Structure 1
């Protein structure tokens, strides 16, 4: 048999034995295990028993955990589908988008039309179809949770009478839980509409962000809203939900895509012996997201459990603790299955693809039996994962209706600081306490840990490849992350809630000090150098970074005037409007304040002294002028605050109740002085760095011109002198 004939026979035999898939009824059966878990957990905790005070009825008692279970699964599937479409699935069939645009331009110049037909990839269309259907289910389930939650809180059975309707309207308008779930309903409805309307990957990126924002109101209500260490509870729950959405949603979508993946893999196998590659590629990309998600779920779950369980005895004897222990055991089992995917199945799928390719080129027959066995085991493990995940989500739905062992009530002797901030008043601040007091904000801890691990991994990857990366850049970036961790979880975060001066230290460090060191670490350049470009039409992290750098939004926000106005002008807008009060009173406002300060400071430092790519970098002289103007504006605001005779946010800082020997107004004036010092010194350092960069660039330009002159024999200078000689001859009257 000739090699070519062997390759054709191998392709035919592989096509006759296509890549395996799972059936949709099997996926549905795996998901239904969650309903069994709801029933078992409900019987264990007794939520199905009638209430002796105000019973909402059997429909509400059992319907609410079931609706929450359906809501969580549908939400994860909808958002996970959009994320996979944005990050892992090719949107078009044929050449990459850049090549298509080039072909279109050439066709337009040649007077032709339709140089290439743009066809939506079947996997992409199927993924969005799954996400759209799941989004509709999410919306309906969110409405059901909203109504049933009111019925449970009010102790009223479902009814259509005027009393129930009036109470429900007040619940949605005035009660935080009702407002939160109404927000989820609106987000789900808009998300579902956009999933059916938007098809471009760039648009779907923002749709995914909108869907993920639905996590925020869910994290702000329930046990996290009233439990101990409110900020840690809310942030850890938000991280937990984020991990669950990415992990569970992606896996459910992969299982539902199985028939389409099988069809695509079969066509590829018959045509070019590439069938296993499409399965391996999707699984490999999902496994990266799943690995990060499972680490987030495990860590945030432990943090949340520590806030709800005080002793080991409560973990082993109370219904709440037993369900937490079961959740932890299931998570460990899921992690083991994920490790099997990463370390055993994915390499064998790649090996099956390489074997097929070898068979086509050298006459060696690919092994279709091996491919079928590997993919068969893959889908079996995925079904097991979905079943376990579904059971865990069912248990979580019941946990949301179960009181934890640790009391969630405010102490009867709560101090004014405890009532306002949720925490007891810290001791009188000293220099040592600014660095020894810690209250971890787990959202920022996760950000710092992820960025540090990614930066070190990327630097090691470059060095193993033989490329160089400055150690000083790495030191600068890691120091900036350390400052960021301290300012969000250390003394500034603790005293910033009770003292205006503490808040000012937090603000100015967050917007002036940390961004400067982060920018000097050049993280975007490191990402572009370490990440591999994709060639299959999908957008990975590198492609999304390039898209953002060259986007119109980037051109606007990195314009030097816009960056300076956002950086300095937001001070007036923040401190002399109700925004400051909202940031103090509400947890979401506090986190948005931190994000705003960090981003505005980062963009300003990037425009002034950064080395990362920008759409357009201003001239050095303009940078220095903007820095000097910023220093003057900071000084003006600082002097105004330090000399003010009225207290900003008097209802907050005036009622904290400390007796440390200075008044709230004295502390505010001290905060103005700190603003002056902490604002001017970093700005001056930025000016010095900008001047040094200007000098170095001039020196490099002089060296380049000298080399050019040596290479050409000063041809440019001779031509310049000859031009003046000709002008003199033309002007000479003789």
Structure 2
């Protein structure tokens, strides 16, 4: 791409952001009576935000394109980064460094904007450092910079595709702090707003960054262009659906009524929606009309068609990024910013009413992060089963029911009564914990998702890394090999109880949306690893003999019961500051509720233990039956050689015993005769 064209594209988002803010008054002096930070901050903040978003998008998209869509230079180099893939990953590394630098610049600009202090004023540097280390907004920006720096170093240092994929995954994680600082993150239902914003950022980064990567790589792909474009088109289609779903969710959260669309915020939201819809329509047209012509086109025709395919889309998506920055700098309608109560400020939602028997089934509060993931995994599993059925293969119904049932219980745990009351009552938190850490993983492991994926996903023949290849790489990675060992999985399952409940991690998970997500992920993964070592059939686990598995079940669940009993006897209130700060006027006291939660933790360990023990016994019997059948088949092929050898051994043992008896009898007879001769001589 010519440098003037690249520069024009990079300047599009900040130009659009500043232009829209100028039209809407977002660059004005702010509220009357408050100090203004100066024109440099007013202009520099949206421009730096736009450039930060672009560099983050390029980091994610370039790596994703290189490690999932592009073929290697040759099959002998499929695991190494060479040629075009190397240059794209290097480009992502440089973009990550720019992302880190712009995030640090945003620390200073954001503090200047919030405090009214102009850049370079006396003591500004010390105050900005204090802001970055003491306030959530500053920590988010600093965390984003740190993650981007690690991504940049990893991308430039890696030599293999797998490590580049790790850098890409880490870059996706780095988008989370950006979502925490986005518009709507500080309002009521801020957890849903953050979840929707994060999904939007991930989809747009994969979509837009990959599109720019295609523009950069189009001239060098040659014959590999059609396959690469088709793969990217599939990725872009899923990203468009995710952008649409996240946009609808964000609009519902931030707008109280359709009348709010007439506000400045609503107008910018409509403009952004129109841009996304135009991109979706363009992608659909290209997918149906343009991409099929790429396969048979000559080189010159391929390049011409490709340029028409991406030029307009890149411009629109960059303009939409600038619009998003202007939207981020524009407050929602005043009706969406009513003062928050104490419960709303702490929980992000209204304090639920008293917990009765009906509320166990009727209380629901959607978890915007985990519920869509659970639904997507169920749909993907069902799609894989249907694919097997269509080609004539079978898949056990019991495994499908286990997978669906596991995720259904998980959705109830995070969005049902345990999710609605888990941050209000310790007892309901313990119900949520036990469901996620014990029952759900057992059902998911019985679904054998990796085995199903290996049978349903297509293998790529050109050496590129598709979903099947990445799944195999993850299953056989050194990290999975270590975590899949029984001792490690059992220790992780047990040690996490002490490390979580007897440190500040428990209160962090209650107070922080990020901490709550990490807590849920940890308990789910730890339980899955432990159950996979005991009753799983998927590859990647080191499963001990069945007697050792039975011993592991007794030791681990015995320790879990001991933990519950010790908590019942404890007089220390866990996360007392959090629970006492909630305006809860109903229910038991903190001590009684903690005792109830510990009792439930003990009691609720029984049915997962029974389920695990039943499955373990069943698998043990099945393994013995298979071993007998295998032995019988082998004997039939070998003419009962082992049976004949066994009979020969018994015959030899019998002959040996007969000889021993005869020798013993002979020695006894000789001894009797010797004793008789001695008696005669004495006589």
Q: Return the TM-score normalized by structure 2.
A: 0.92
Root mean square deviation of aligned Cα? 2.2
1:492 aligns with 2:418: yes
Post-superposition offset of 1:501 = 0.7
Post-superposition offset of 1:428 = 0.9
Say if 1:93 and 1:121, in contact at 8 Å, map to a contact too. Answer: no
1:337 aligns with 2:282: yes
Post-superposition offset of 1:239 = 1.1
Name the structure 2 match of 1:386. Answer: 314
Name the structure 1 match of 2:634. Answer: 708
SS of match in other structure, 1:427: coil
Say if 1:126 and 1:260, in contact at 8 Å, map to a contact too. Answer: no
Post-superposition offset of 1:584 = 0.9
Post-superposition offset of 1:659 = 3.0
1:531 aligns with 2:460: no
Name the structure 2 match of 1:646. Answer: 572
Name the structure 2 match of 1:670. Answer: 596
1:88 to 65, 69, 79: 69
Task: Output the CA distance in 1 between the equivalents of 2:613 and 2:265.
Answer: 57
Post-superposition offset of 1:664 = 1.7
Post-superposition offset of 1:73 = 0.9
Say if 1:47 and 1:401, in contact at 8 Å, map to a contact too. Answer: yes
Name the structure 2 match of 1:14. Answer: none
Task: Output the CA distance in 2 between the equivalents of 1:637 and 1:44.
Answer: 61
Post-superposition offset of 1:645 = 2.8
Name the structure 2 match of 1:148. Answer: 109
Task: Output the CA distance in 1 between the equivalents of 2:45 and 2:406.
Answer: 46
Q: Which has the higher contact order (CA 8 A, sep 6+)?
A: 1
SS of match in other structure, 2:202: helix
Task: Output the CA distance in 2 between the equivalents of 1:384 and 1:617.
Answer: 54
Name the structure 2 match of 1:396. Answer: 324
Q: Relative to structure 2, which stretch is displaced further, 320-329 or 130-139?
A: 130-139
1:79-118 correspondence runs (5 A): 79-95=60-76
1:293 aligns with 2:274: no
- Change in CA separation of 1:129 and 1:614 when aligned onto 2, cut-off 3 Å: closer
Count of aligned positions: 658
- Change in CA separation of 1:579 and 1:41 when aligned onto 2, cut-off 3 Å: same
Say if 2:475 and 2:540, in contact at 8 Å, map to a contact too. Answer: yes
1:189 aligns with 2:189: no
SS of match in other structure, 2:143: helix
1:354-433 correspondence runs (5 A): 368=298, 372-373=300-301, 375-406=303-334, 411=339, 414-415=341-342, 417-433=343-359
Q: Relative to structure 2, which stretch is displaced further, 130-139 or 322-331?
A: 130-139
Task: Output the CA distance in 2 between the equivalents of 1:303 and 1:420.
Answer: 22
2:130 to 170, 181, 192: 170
1:690 aligns with 2:616: yes
Task: Output the CA distance in 1 between the equivalents of 2:122 and 2:308.
Answer: 51
- Change in CA separation of 1:677 and 1:92 when aligned onto 2, cut-off 3 Å: farther
- Change in CA separation of 1:162 and 1:33 when aligned onto 2, cut-off 3 Å: closer
Unaligned runs of 5+ in 1: 1-21, 99-117, 266-274, 353-366
Say if 2:58 and 2:209, in contact at 8 Å, map to a contact too. Answer: yes
Task: Output the CA distance in 1 between the equivalents of 2:654 and 2:397.
Answer: 57
1:74 aligns with 2:74: no
SS of match in other structure, 2:459: coil
Say if 1:223 and 1:408, in contact at 8 Å, map to a contact too. Answer: no
Name the structure 2 match of 1:328. Answer: 273
Post-superposition offset of 1:546 = 1.6
Task: Output the CA distance in 2 between the equivalents of 1:57 and 1:289.
Answer: 43
1:319 aligns with 2:279: no
Post-superposition offset of 1:281 = 1.3
Task: Output the CA distance in 1 between the equivalents of 2:165 and 2:559.
Answer: 37
Residues 652-703 of structure 1 show CA distances to partners (whole Å, capped at 9, x for unaligned) of 2233232334212111111111111211211121011100110011112212
- Change in CA separation of 1:335 and 1:525 when aligned onto 2, cut-off 3 Å: same
Say if 1:30 and 1:384, in contact at 8 Å, map to a contact too. Answer: no
Task: Output the CA distance in 2 between the equivalents of 1:335 and 1:222.
Answer: 24
2:366 to 432, 440, 461: 440
Name the structure 1 match of 2:379. Answer: 453
SS of match in other structure, 1:223: coil
SS of match in other structure, 1:257: helix
Task: Output the CA distance in 2 between the equivalents of 1:567 and 1:406.
Answer: 47
Name the structure 2 match of 1:545. Answer: 471
Task: Output the CA distance in 2 between the equivalents of 1:615 and 1:660.
Answer: 47
1:307 aligns with 2:285: no
Say if 1:27 and 1:383, in contact at 8 Å, map to a contact too. Answer: no
- Change in CA separation of 1:48 and 1:483 when aligned onto 2, cut-off 3 Å: same
- Change in CA separation of 1:94 and 1:234 when aligned onto 2, cut-off 3 Å: closer
Say if 1:68 and 1:145, in contact at 8 Å, map to a contact too. Answer: yes
Residues 409-446 of structure 1 show CA distances to partners (whole Å, capped at 9, x for unaligned) of 6736x24x334323221011123212222221111122
Say if 1:81 and 1:127, in contact at 8 Å, map to a contact too. Answer: yes
1:213 aligns with 2:169: no
Say if 1:85 and 1:91, in contact at 8 Å, map to a contact too. Answer: no
Question: Which 4+ residue blocks in structure 1 deviate beyond 6 angstroms?
Answer: none
SS of match in other structure, 2:123: helix
Name the structure 1 match of 2:672. Answer: none
Post-superposition offset of 1:401 = 1.4
Name the structure 1 match of 2:540. Answer: 614
Name the structure 1 match of 2:292. Answer: 347
Q: Relative to structure 2, which stretch is displaced further, 324-333 or 121-130?
A: 121-130
Post-superposition offset of 1:374 = 5.5
Larger Rg: 2
SS of match in other structure, 2:604: helix
- Change in CA separation of 1:476 and 1:418 when aligned onto 2, cut-off 3 Å: same
Task: Output the CA distance in 2 between the equivalents of 1:178 and 1:410.
Answer: 25
Name the structure 2 match of 1:139. Answer: 100
SS of match in other structure, 2:76: coil
1:125 aligns with 2:86: yes
- Change in CA separation of 1:157 and 1:659 when aligned onto 2, cut-off 3 Å: closer
Task: Output the CA distance in 2 between the equivalents of 1:219 and 1:424.
Answer: 23
- Change in CA separation of 1:501 and 1:41 when aligned onto 2, cut-off 3 Å: same
Task: Output the CA distance in 2 between the equivalents of 1:248 and 1:423.
Answer: 34
